[in-house]
Amino acid sequence: MVFARRAPLGLGLGLLAAVGIWAVLGAANAQATVVTVGSPLSAPFPFSGAFGQVTVTNLILPEPGANVTSPVTGTITSWRLSGASGGPFRLRVLTPGGGTTFTGAGTSEPQTPAGTATESFTTNLPIQAGQQIGLDLSDPSDAVGIQSSAGLGARFGFSGSPPLADGAMQTFNTGASDEELGFNADVNVMETATGAPPTGQRAAALKRCKKKHSAKKRKKCRKKAKLLPV
């Protein structure tokens, strides 16, 4: 008969306490950073435009610090509409493909604004650094808020009808110059213990390793990938 040797009660409690302390310290070292992508919505959107059943996106945002594309990899946790009417609307993640060509890369749940004032909606939508956001219009009468950039060069684009589907690629038409559409999104990214946002390099490299044909090459690839920044 084999007997398991039990640790003294005090030692077991000490180990549990140590694990708890390290868990708290780890949580304290990981902080969330929020980055806004899209129009800053820093001025009213007094005009509205109905474009049909399409996907729209801002191509140029002239405001200092405004992000047309996401500078970080993270999760969109909330998004906003200003000056919109009709609906429902869906936030869409777009992957730029050069020029005004985009591929659909994710869609939020549908939301209908109660009025034309700025409204916020919650979501849980992954986005990669370099991707941008669009907005799906589900009805021909749906309208999106428009603001003039007063000669600063804002520009938006819109797909053909119907709205762009996930995985589909389209070249967008460009709208009038000096016009910006009223929507944006907050990207939440967890910082590392050093305080810097993850770069996504390690995750991307590990994903590529799965495509290696032999187990030996996959193992070697993963070993190199784990040396890259998080």
29-86 pLDDT, tens digit per residue, is 456 789 999 999 988 998 888 889 999 999 999 999 999 999 999 999 999 999 999 9
What length is written for the chain?
230
| 227 vs 2: which has the higher pLDDT | 227
172 Cβ contact list (under 8 Å, min separation 6): 55, 57, 59, 100, 101, 102, 157, 158, 159
pLDDT band at 218 (very low <50, low <70, confident <90, very high): confident
Rounded to the nearest 10°, the torsion over CA 81, 83, 87, 90 is: -20
Tell me the pLDDT of the chain averaged across its residues.
84
Output 48 or 96, whichever has higher pLDDT.
Answer: 96
pLDDT digits (tens, 9 = 90+) for 101-125: 999 999 999 999 999 999 999 999 9
Question: For residues 168 and 229, what is the distance between their CA atoms, to the nearest angstrom?
Answer: 31
Q: Which residues of 97-106 are buried (b: 16+ CB within 10 A; e: fewer)?
A: eeebebbbbb
| pLDDT for the residue numbered 217 | 85
Give yes or no for residue 216 having a pLDDT over 90. Answer: no
The model carries a pTM of 0.70
With a CB cutoff of 8 Å and minimum separation 6, the contacts of 69 are 37, 96, 129, 130, 131, 132
Q: What whole-number percentage of the chain has pLDDT above 70?
A: 81
Alpha-carbon distance of 177 to 197, in angstroms, equals 34
Q: What is the dihedral of CA 177, 88, 85, 101, to 10 degrees?
A: 0
pLDDT at 201: 72
Query: Residue type at 140?
Result: P
| Whether 69 contacts 128, CB under 8 Å | no
**Is pLDDT above 80 for 193?**
no
pLDDT of residue 8: 45
Q: Confidence class of residue 206 from pLDDT cuts 50, 70 and 90?
A: confident
